[in-house]
Structure 1
Amino acid sequence: MAARPTRPTDPDRPLRGSTDRRSLPLTAAPGTVARGREFTRTALRAWGWLPAPDAEARAAAEDVLLMTSELVTNACQHATGPYLLELTRHGPLLRISVSDTDDRMPVLRPPRVPARPGGYGLRVVDRLATAWGSEPLPGGGKTVWLEVVRPPAEP
């Protein structure tokens, strides 16, 4: 199954206004997933997602951390290992992308037997992200990305 075709932003068109981008070089070494998650947590704090003002915002921030872990884990387990985690914030829109040198695009697998472990990473991303997909990189490899929109703060 392919990624959802609907996308709130077009990666070929630059975003207007203030954009904040943070990058973390990665390797497929032990601790990579934890490093990516902590890097994302630090960015969420800087951007005001954490500490969360209410339950909905807290859940959204936790979902972002989970999905970041899933993208990095997938690059470690199913590709040649990640080499870059990039977070891009534009207003309430957050794009998380993980790049690796493997040309194979991710595939959303059909649901598995619930009692069996593994194979749920992209399914989690598919359920929680506003949009997600992958794109080949010039010279080889790919970037797998997802987008989420920060929930509005309660008055």
Structure 2
Amino acid sequence: MRAIGPAAGDPLRSGRSGAGQRRRIALSGVRGHVAKGRDFVRQALLDWGWDGTETAEDVLLLVSELLTNASLHAGGCDELALTAGQVLRIEVFDGTTTPPHRNPSPQRALPGGHGLYIVERLSDRWGTHVHEHGKAVWAEIEASRLVSGRSTGR
């Protein structure tokens, strides 16, 4: 596991805001990538002063769902990126251009098929974008929710 790119993001030295920071971590071929991704995000939230809230826990669940979906349906996750600003944007990059789709009738008592419903409910917005090497599935949380700790339960 390694942070990559020029904006890998060191801990902030002053203030408690990650505004304008972007952190990325390569996860392609990494064993335990969901746990490593969650740890990476947990540290970023701590560095940015956005930890210890209900919404921070929602962010960790979103990351778990997005990484798991990439593993199960897109051949794995290549990279996880976080961008902090007025929103926290979480992006999971994979090597396919196939868009994710919700299971039309997940079974309540059975595991599986609920991931995108969870993403939709916990995030303020989510979507996908295709790039030259595949796609990214992204989710956004308003920064004000992370500061106040309130979860709107969207």
How far apart are residue 109 of structure 1 and its match?
Answer: 2.1
The one of 142, 148, 151 equivalent to 1:149 is 142
Name stretches of at least 5 consecutive residues in structure 1 with no aligned partner: 1-17, 53-57
CA RMSD, aligned part only?
1.5
1:1-155 to structure 2, matched below 5 A, reads 18-50=19-51, 52=52, 58-91=53-86, 93-138=87-132, 140-150=133-143, 151=145, 152-153=147-148
Structure 2 portions without partners, runs of 5+: 1-18, 150-154
| TM-score of the superposed pair, with normalisation by structure 1 | 0.78
Report if the CA contact (8 A) 1:36-1:68 is conserved. Answer: yes
Give the TM-score normalised by structure 2.
0.79
For 1:30 and 1:126, locate their aligned partners in 2 and report how far apart those are by CA, in whole Å: 27
User: Matches of 2:47 and 2:124 in 1, distance apart?
Assistant: 22
Q: Secondary structure of 2:22's match?
A: strand
Return 99-108 or 22-31, whichever deviates more.
22-31
How far apart are the structure 1 equivalents of 2:108 and 2:72? Answer: 20
Aligned equivalent of 1:6: none
Where relative contact order (Cα < 8 A, 6+ residues apart) is larger, the structure is 1
Segments ≥4 residues shifted beyond 3 Å: none
Match in the other structure for 1:4 = none
Return the offset for 1:153.
3.1
- 2-structure distance, mates of 1:63, 1:109: 21
Query: Offset of 1:28 from its aligned partner?
Result: 4.2
Q: Contact (CA 8 Å) 2:106, 2:112: kept in 1 or not?
A: no
Say if 2:70 and 2:76, in contact at 8 Å, map to a contact too. Answer: yes
For residues 130 and 31 of structure 1, what CA distance do their matches in structure 2 show? 27
Q: Tell me how far 1:87 sits from its aligned partner.
A: 0.2
Answer yes or no: is the 8 Å Cα contact 1:108–1:123 preserved in 2.
yes
Aligned partners of 2:128 and 2:135 also within 8 Å: yes
Asked if structure 2 preserves the Cα contact closer than 8 Å seen for 1:130 and 1:147, the reply is yes
